[in-house]
Amino acid sequence: MVREVVLDTETTGLDPLAGHRIIEIGAIELINHVPTGRHYHVYINPERAIEEDAFKVHGLSTEFLADHPVFETIVEDFLAFVGDATLVIHNARFDMGFINAELARLKRPELPMSQSVDTVKMARRKFPGAQANLNALCRRFDIDNTHRDLHGALIDADLLAAVYVELLGGRQPDLSLEPAAAGTRASAGSGQTDDSGFAFRADSNQFDRPHAPSKEEIDAHDALVARIDDAVWSR
């Protein structure tokens, strides 16, 4: 089992070394590259002002965040959700830098960069010279991002999860990630479903025989059946 957490943050500015802080974390759990339905989302009081340019990106104001918890009070829940999962992040150095700056303030061990996968680097390797921002990748892979008026950590993590699967090679050609009907499970032979509520449906043509049996094959089959007592094929 491969557990990954697709993660995004919003911040008060661009540089944690200049005292800027995390104000929102959104994270989505994947098991074997499939969303499980588990997610983590929190707004955080940064205990400082938000730069105007940052506010224009995410629309989160100092006033809105004033009544939300500070990082110290959410750190245990955050680290428990992350665990030892690989962190899938778009521009990992930015988000990991902020997360580790917050942990350092609390004298907590940092998360190693080796625990992260950077989807910007993945995109640039796969499509050299092309735009690698999240909106461009959504357009490339025909992922609907029309609800993304402003940056939001959970919205962006959700979009990034879809982009990440495509960067890995996309959905397997014989499987379809379709929401399973509530309270139902896929029937035997039609695929599998898990706790995420997604049903894995085999392509109905996957197992079609590429040709009809010949007369010789039919005759051989009939001769075999004739030698079997009470064969089910003869009932």
Please answer whether residues 103 and 110 qualify as being in contact, where contact means their C-beta atoms are separated by less than 8 angstroms.
yes
At 161 the three-state DSSP class reads helix
- Token pair 């993660």 is found at 7
Please answer whether residues 225 and 231 qualify as being in contact, where contact means their C-beta atoms are separated by less than 8 angstroms.
yes
Which strand (E) or helix (H) includes residue 3?
Answer: strand 3-11
Please answer whether residues 31 and 1 qualify as being in contact, where contact means their C-beta atoms are separated by less than 8 angstroms.
yes
Rounded Cα distance, 61 and 85, in Å: 31
Structure tokens at 153: 């950590």
* Nearest CA-CA partner of 35 in 151, 196, 234: 196
Which strand (E) or helix (H) includes residue 40?
Answer: strand 34-43
Q: Is 68 among the catalytic positions?
A: no
20, 58, 90, 151: which one is catalytic?
Answer: 151
To the nearest 10 degrees (0 to 180), the angle between helices 119-126 and 153-167 is 40
* Catalytic residue annotation: 151
